[in-house]
Amino acid sequence: MNTFVFEPAEQPSLAIAGGDARFPVHRIYCIGRNYADHAREMGAAVERGQPMFFTKPADAIVADDGHGIDVPYPPATKELHHEVEMIVALAHGGRDIARESALDGVFGYGVGLDLTRRDLQAAAKAKGHPWDAAKAFDASAPASVLVPVATCGHPVHAALTLDVNGERRQHGDIADMIFDVASIIHELSKLWTLAPGDLVYTGTPAGVAALARGDRIAARLGELARLDATIV
Ligand code: MN
């Protein structure tokens, strides 16, 4: 047993539907521009050859255990955007995972928000700078309760929706992802050693827009997963 000079940070984790044990979050991977309609609204080319990945720190998670969450409006932005995304949670990892067996490593699915400081992202893009300040800030990764594959299987079609104050802002279907779940895992595992506890945010459909303090967000992955958040 190591001794530490101060208490290590708490392990970020998510609730699991139908059980008391929690899912310990290891890393958070995100794919950009995985829905053609969103790539177009951002003025980006729709690329089907090579996926574009970025990451968030594990402690960016804000876990909605089923009762709703408060999410702090981050500093240094005037344009905080919502992006509703299906989350894939991994129970097994590895390197160079074949597309054909990639789904075997999936623990379950959920819904989350890839919160984005869009003004900082636009400035970073203009200068060719990295996206960390735009994407990987504190509390930038709200996430729902996870539903295990044993319960839900591997969803192929499911509505992905986001309402703000009762008005629909985003409505897509996971069937429209450019890179499907198996392809994302396959491609990620060429670049990183995937591990149990990794989460993948799988991209957002069109309709991303700005949030303000007091906004109430309802994000849904069909009937499978729900996340309710208030920006405070
Ligand atoms: Mn995103």
Residue 84 C-alpha to ligand 1 middle, in angstroms? 7
Which residues, chain by chain, have CB under 5 Å from ion ligand 1? 83, 114, 204
Residue 7 C-alpha to ligand 1 middle, in angstroms? 33
Q: What is the pLDDT of residues 108-151, one digit of tens each?
A: 999 999 999 999 999 999 999 999 999 999 999 999 999 999 99
pLDDT above 90: residue 48:
no
Q: Whole-angstrom Cα distance, residue 211 to residue 170?
A: 13
pTM of model > 0.95: yes
Domains, in order of start, for the chain: 13-231 (3.90.850.10)
Q: Whole-angstrom Cα distance, residue 18 to residue 64?
A: 15
pLDDT above 90: residue 45:
no
Q: Whole-angstrom Cα distance, residue 221 to residue 203?
A: 13
Q: Whole-angstrom Cα distance, residue 39 to residue 28?
A: 21
CB atoms within 10 A of CB 44: 14
Residue 1 C-alpha to ligand 1 middle, in angstroms? 39
Residue 221 C-alpha to ligand 1 middle, in angstroms? 15
Residue 6 C-alpha to ligand 1 middle, in angstroms? 34
pLDDT above 90: residue 99:
yes
Using an 8 Å Cβ cutoff, are 134 and 118 in contact? yes
DSSP letters for 66-100: SS-EEEPPPSS-S-EE--EEEEEEES--BSS--GG
pLDDT above 90: residue 98:
yes
